[in-house]
Amino acid sequence: MDNLWVERDARAMARRYQGAGVNQDVALCVYGTRLLGSEPRLVQHGGGNTSVKTMMRDVTGADVEVLCVKGSGADMAVIEPHGLPAVRLAGLQALAGLPALSDEDMVNTQRCNLLDAAAPNPSVETLLHAFLPHKFITHTHANAVLALTDQPDGAEICAAVYGKRAALVPYLMPGFGLAKLAREVFETAPDCEGLILLKHGIFAFGATAREAYERMIALVDLAEHHLSRGRKRRPRAAAAPRRLAAVAEVAPILRGLVAEPAGEEGQWRRMVMVHRNGPAILDFIAGAEVRRYAFSGVVTPDHVIRTKSKPLLLPAPEAGALDDFRTQAEAALAAYTADYRAYFARQNAASLPPKTALDPLPRVMLVPGQGLYGFGKSARDAAIAADIAETAIAVIADAESIGRFESIAEADIFAVEYWSLEQAKLGKAAEKPLARQVVAITGGAGAIGVACARAFAAAGAEVALLDRDGAAVGKAAASVGGLGLACDVTKPKEVDAAFARIAETYGGLDILISNAGAAWSGRIGTVAESVLRESFELNFFAHQRVAQAALRLMLAQRTGGVLLFNTSKQAVNPGPDFGPYGLPKAATLFLSRQYALDHGADGIRSNAVNADRIRSGLLTDEMVTARARARKVSEKAYMAGNLLGREVTAADVAQAFLDLALARKTTAAVLTVDGGNIAAALR
């Protein structure tokens, strides 16, 4: 474990924050916290915490000794001073004399002692920081330390590795009891540099931020050296089939399996997926005893809220045998959920007060030969589950390399999984209308494509943008935190590759906005056949091509879906010399209705948007200018040449697509967005 402290950088940060009114102690604590948080072998999403005891001025002008401690769930890698809420130290330390303290009273006391009532909740381990005497304290869930402690004889191993440098604290759930126990252990070894919390993590402390940080690194380094000296080889299981199915084929099946019916018929509570397949992951899954060590429990308690206590282990998916794989996966999932319900019933019987069961679905799936799949309510949450699963794999592999991995007891896992203070880290805000859904938008770098990306991302969807301009679509996707794919929708191989990438990235697809198009003009009696064919290729066949690719994913998921087509007013009201554009658009309008007819029984809705005079959208700026000149009006007047006299924007078209995506009982419809044009109205 490398020591990354650079004194020059630390002092520079202190000077920078001093200008914003942050004292040096807090600034240096922020610097050390970020160093720890940026190392995934030490800290994973929201885990770990740090603190500093310092002086601050309250509203009366009096100097008060406070504990600035990491806020619950804050990301140590990017923490700012406000992420270390200041709590009056005397109010916290007064609790040490109590024989017992409820979680509710602990949280209330911590909040009542905040200098700023609007500050985030202090860490659930605030009292442990407060009860120890050191100025600076650091806490991580270091992989190497967990590999030593997560053993049947973890205490003996750690005693041999650390001697007097670190004292050992038996496992106890975080909170008031652990804080008191940690202080009692420290008082028996007041010269130690840190505390090893068995099956939980490590604390290190010091008189300065640098000392606390460097002691943490040194203590973790000792664990890493012990592991490197004692590794043994693990036997491998039977090899996976020679011909594995592709991840893009398997992912939508798995994503569909963890979707639950919700609300009215046809509604689904989906999850988003990520896939990981590094060598360490594949080796772990290939282990002969994977069913034992993968199901033994979490490597540190707070991981359970992200991954549950165990993953779902699936068979290897053989190419050409996906129906068999689906059947086996369904059976495995049924056994998993039944096991989870039995676990809940066992533990809840002894729980006071009784708990309400969480959903029984796995957040991590292990597939031989393919790797792990992480699931969550968003791409971010799925990535967190996958990151934590990768960490667990690394810790368990190290633990097995020197002995036998052992987690905390089932009752202790349940206590943390259903602990309100841990569940609070996940947040309970109402979800946006398209949360948990994935949308693909063709023509993603154009004005309408970009407007759709913004509208659907704002509604909670994960967004994939496709456009032949790779640089532009990448930029557009980055602006909404989505996936940008260079794809010419007139080329079948590029379409197949793009939709495979969407499946690999998110697990599948729920909404397609088939938007890519371009306008060709010419008098129909004399226009060259090549012009018609070129227009039909983009304005009809490309729509069919991407719709078929989207449909394959939707059918594999078995959770329905939405197909949305950009047809334009030319589909119903052809303009003079505009046949090469209007003819394929009319065919695409019919295509939309055919999908509604043929796949309504699959829960797939298909609708179209009929828009007109959209600058930088259906018409190019040059075409708008030319048409305005031909009519001897201003461009603005041409754009607003409708019954309402209002200009129609790309954002208006995007809103129409969004409205159709949300209209759960509407299919085979055409929504007009043109400000009013009787000639283009359907009748």
Report yes or no: 484 and 462 within 8 Å, Cβ to Cβ: no
480 token code pair:
């909404």
Of 343, 581, 595, 638, catalytic: 581
- Coil, helix or strand for 72? coil
The secondary structure of 220-261 as a DSSP string is HHHHHHHHHHH--PPPB-PPPPSSBPPHHHHHHHHHHHT-EE
Closest C-alpha among 585, 271, 650, 270 to residue 453: 650
**CB within 8 A of 601, min separation 6: which ones?**
none
31 token code pair:
């610097």
Residue type, 633: V
Report yes or no: 88 and 66 within 8 Å, Cβ to Cβ: yes
The secondary structure of 401-457 as a DSSP string is HHS------HHHHHHHHT-HHHHGGG--PPPPTTTT-EEEEESTTSHHHHHHHHHHH
224 token code pair:
């890493």
Question: What is the rounded CA–CA span in Å between residue 384 and residue 367?
Answer: 19
What angle (nearest 5°) sits at the alpha carbon of residue 176, between those of residues 172 and 180? 75
Q: At 515, phi and psi to the nearest 5?
A: -115, -20
**CB within 8 A of 428, min separation 6: which ones?**
none
537 token code pair:
């290729």
Residue type, 368: P
CB burial class (10 A; 0-12, 13-18, 19+) of residue 152? exposed
Report yes or no: 166 and 149 within 8 Å, Cβ to Cβ: no
> What element of type H or E holds 376?
strand 371-376
Eight-state DSSP code of residue 115? S
Question: What is the rounded CA–CA span in Å between residue 336 and residue 330?
Answer: 10
**If you count them, how many residues does the chain have?**
683
Question: What is the rounded CA–CA span in Å between residue 471 and residue 444?
Answer: 11
The strand ranges marked E within 89-155 are 136-140
Number of C-beta neighbours around residue 161 at 10 A: 19
- Coil, helix or strand for 169? strand
Catalytic residue check, 373: no
Eight-state DSSP code of residue 299? S
What angle (nearest 5°) sits at the alpha carbon of residue 468, between those of residues 586 and 273? 95
Residues acting as catalytic residues: 581
